[in-house]
């Protein structure tokens, strides 16, 4: 079977004008590290589930992306994180919403999948579960980054809820196909700067921001509310299953539909033949992929 | 255009042996009241959105169904409620998860749709939003029912998380088509008896437990985790859009798939021609419908 891994570090209005060569190199380094980490697992015969978890952990640990360390701040100056993971072969899923101080929310999502009868745990309850099973936590200082804090101050001054700073829209994700042709998807986010009222976006929700089954795995990034209304991640699967489209065609049609309903962002998808698709309708999307037929490639703009 | 309204009050293993004539009459009365309330709105030229909200408010106010008043108790002895509403014509949605003391969670979900830029608000944040807009609240005593409390004590003694008492699986919902052919769906629940860790089920989630677009509206009830994995509500829409199935065929195939993945429950669906489908794979589903072509009908068993 063909191996394949695709990752993203968020999509949105990434202006070339705001990107310096040094900053671009830093972003590419973050993407390459995650890609190499995940692909090494696939190459050594590991599962797609292990590969997407490891790739997303790497992206969560990297402070420039809006997930894990470096997450944006809520209106109250807190960092609340959402994450979802799905095992396509077993059609199993786990997710957490607005958890705090968990070093790797994606790993907590996997524990929800493997150690509970539930799919989605939220808030204090999810943190209680994390405590019980001994998940690794970090202090507020670990998650703090000055640029995110300044973004909150700007947003508070302007009275805006921001997806991510003028943007990129902040999410990270990974999809993979392993040697057995089994697929998995993982997606993680720090949410929206200055968000209030316990808003939950598409990231942790099955079929909305994250989805995997026996034929396709999808991870989304963008303005979450539109990905929810479009049932975006599952829509890619449905167009393949019910319309008979290829991965490429299906992913493109789904993003076209997102454009029609005024949603902005992108997605990454992989199928059992090791094909990858990375369409987006925003100015850029931090992304990368590597397959049996392609070396590691990272890109930011279209 | 044909008018149509369908409602449900939950599905699951409803044993005929446990149903007395007096209890059955009470359930039917609850269903008929909700059906008449919602259909009167459609008949007087009102919108499908108003009709499903009113029908679900009626079901929430009725203490025998697991939603609003009469909701089940969590492990900590609290009553936490989830609800989601969707306007198919506008492709807009609003939802709340584990809110407390809100008399009609479905009306709060509608306010999320109409007065915020978000789709889903959860926990204390959702209650804060409710306070700010002055939603009607009730005391704990209002929501308390002795039979739900006894169910928690039994579940605690047995160490089980229960969907609803031995069952029915508790959710309420409504779908409607109005004189303009506009569709809407609304779903509300008190969740699982003895649930822990901030578990969120399918009910408030777009495309999972509740969905409406320009061609179909769907409300689900059953073991929520399986409805999440099946992306059940949107799957009905996708089979119609992409496979060209009729409402009846699509709803049936979706429930067949639910059976394949070991999920138990049912759904109600309506299309723009006023067709209704009410398939389920459980022993019974509290349900009813009325259309331009059919008088009010309520049923419990298959």
Strand, coil or helix: B129: helix
CA dihedral B239, B48, B191, B112 (to 10 degrees): 110
Closest CB to B121: pick one of A197, A231, A238: A197
Q: Do A228 and B196 touch (CB under 8 A)?
A: no
Q: What is the residue-level pLDDT of chain B in tens, covering all 302 positions?
A: 799 999 999 986 567 777 889 999 999 999 999 999 999 999 999 999 999 999 999 999 999 999 999 888 888 888 899 999 999 999 999 999 999 999 999 999 999 999 999 999 999 999 999 999 999 999 999 998 888 888 888 888 887 666 544 444 589 999 999 999 999 999 999 988 888 889 999 999 999 999 999 999 999 999 999 999 999 999 999 999 999 999 999 999 999 999 999 999 999 999 999 999 999 999 899 999 999 999 999 999 98
Taking residues A211-235, report their average pLDDT: 97
Q: Mean of the per-residue pLDDT values for chain A?
A: 93
Q: What pLDDT, on the 0 to 100 scale, is given for residue B169?
A: 56
In chain A, the percentage of residues whose pLDDT exceeds 90 is 80
Q: What pLDDT, on the 0 to 100 scale, is given for residue B193?
A: 82
Chain A residue whose CA is closest to B162: A117
User: B127 in a domain, yes or no?
Assistant: yes
Q: What pLDDT, on the 0 to 100 scale, is given for residue B164?
A: 47
User: B295 in a domain, yes or no?
Assistant: no
Q: Do B200 and A92 touch (CB under 8 A)?
A: no
Buried-state track A153-176, b at ≥16 Cβ within 10 A, e below 16: eebeeeeebbbbbbbbbbbbbbbb
Taking residues A93-99, report their average pLDDT: 97
Q: Do A231 and B206 touch (CB under 8 A)?
A: yes
Q: Looking at per-residue confidence, does A17 or A224 come out higher?
A: A224
User: A125 in a domain, yes or no?
Assistant: yes
Q: What pLDDT, on the 0 to 100 scale, is given for residue B13?
A: 55
Chain B residue whose CA is closest to A213: B229
Q: Looking at per-residue confidence, does B159 or A89 come out higher?
A: A89
Q: What is the 3-state secondary structure (H, E, C) of A177-191?
A: ECCCCCEEEEEEECC
Chain A residue whose CA is closest to B245: A242
Rounded Cα distance between A206 and A184, Å, is 12
Cβ-Cβ contacts under 8 Å, A198 against chain B? 121-126, 128
Q: What single-letter DSSP state applies at residue A223?
A: -
Among A74, A82, A118, A131, the residue to mutate for chain B (most B Cβ within 10 A) = A118
User: A260 in a domain, yes or no?
Assistant: no
Q: Looking at per-residue confidence, does B151 or A200 come out higher?
A: A200
Answer whether 0.90 is exceeded by the pTM: yes
Q: What pLDDT, on the 0 to 100 scale, is given for residue A49?
A: 98
Instruction: Write down the ipTM of this complex.
Output: 0.95
Q: Do A197 and B119 touch (CB under 8 A)?
A: no
Domain that holds residue B186: 48-215
The shortest C-alpha distance from B284 to chain A (Å) reads 24
Total of domains in chain A: 1
Taking residues A260-286, report their average pLDDT: 96
Rounded Cα distance between B204 and B224, Å, is 10
Closest CB to A261: pick one of B91, B116, B126: B91
Q: Do B93 and A229 touch (CB under 8 A)?
A: yes
Cβ-Cβ contacts under 8 Å, B201 against chain A? 120
Closest CB to B242: pick one of A129, A200, A239: A239
* Nearest residue to A177 (alpha-carbon basis) of A167, A169, A185: A185
Closest CB to A198: pick one of B92, B125, B207: B125
Structure tokens at A240: 């393949």
User: B10 in a domain, yes or no?
Assistant: no
Instruction: Select which of A171, A193, A203, A232 is catalytic.
Output: A171
Cβ-Cβ contacts under 8 Å, B191 against chain A? none
Q: Looking at per-residue confidence, does B17 or A278 come out higher?
A: A278
* Interface size, chain A vs chain B, as Cβ–Cβ contacts under 8 Å: 137
Chain B: residues touching A (Cβ < 8 Å)? 91-93, 97-98, 116-126, 128-129, 161, 196-201, 205-208, 211, 224-225, 228-229, 231, 234-235, 238-239, 241-243, 261
User: B245 in a domain, yes or no?
Assistant: no
Buried-state track A218-255, b at ≥16 Cβ within 10 A, e below 16: bbbbbbbbbbbbbbbbbbbbbbbbbeebebeebbbbbb
* Nearest residue to A118 (alpha-carbon basis) of B14, B37, B258, B198: B198
Rounded Cα distance between B58 and A297, Å, is 56
pLDDT tens digits, one per residue of A41-60: 999 999 999 999 999 999 99
The answer to whether the beta carbons of residues B133 and B121 sit under 8 Å apart is no
Rounded Cα distance between A251 and B245, Å, is 22
Q: Is the pLDDT of residue A2 over 60?
A: yes
User: B229 in a domain, yes or no?
Assistant: no
User: A173 in a domain, yes or no?
Assistant: yes
């Amino acid at each position: 079977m063909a191996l394949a891994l695709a990752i993203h570090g968020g999509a949105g209005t990434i202006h070339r004008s705001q990107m310096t060569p040094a900053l671009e190199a830093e972003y590419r380094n973050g993407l390459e590290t995650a890609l190499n980490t995940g692909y090494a697992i696939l190459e050594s015969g590991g599962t797609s589930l292990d590969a997407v978890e490891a790739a997303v952990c790497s992206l969560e640990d990297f402070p420039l992306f809006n997930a894990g360390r470096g997450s944006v701040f809520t209106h109250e100056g807190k960092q609340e994180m959402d994450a979802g993971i799905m095992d396509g072969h077993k059609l199993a899923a786990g997710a957490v919403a607005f958890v705090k101080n968990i070093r790797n929310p994606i790993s907590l999502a996997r524990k929800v999948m493997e150690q509970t009868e539930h799919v989605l745990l939220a808030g204090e309850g999810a943190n209680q579960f994390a405590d019980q099973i001994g998940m690794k936590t970090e202090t507020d200082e670990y998650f703090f980054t000055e640029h995110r804090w300044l973004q909150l101050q700007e947003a508070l001054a302007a009275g805006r809820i921001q997806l991510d700073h003028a943007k990129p829209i902040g999410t990270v994700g990974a999809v993979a196909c392993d040697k057995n042709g089994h697929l998995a998807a993982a997606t993680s986010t720090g949410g929206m700067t200055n968000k209030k009222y316990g808003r939950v976006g598409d990231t942790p929700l099955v079929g909305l921001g994250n989805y995997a089954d026996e034929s396709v795995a999808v991870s989304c990034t963008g303005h979450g509310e539109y990905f929810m209304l479009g049932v975006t991640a599952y829509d890619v699967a449905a167009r393949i299953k019910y319309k008979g489209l290829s991965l490429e065609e299906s992913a493109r049609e789904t993003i076209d539909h997102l454009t029609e309903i005024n949603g902005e962002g992108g997605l990454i998808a992989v199928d059992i033949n090791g094909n990858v698709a990375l369409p987006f309708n925003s100015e850029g999307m931090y992304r990368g992929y590597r397959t049996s037929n392609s070396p590691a490639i990272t890109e930011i703009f279209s």
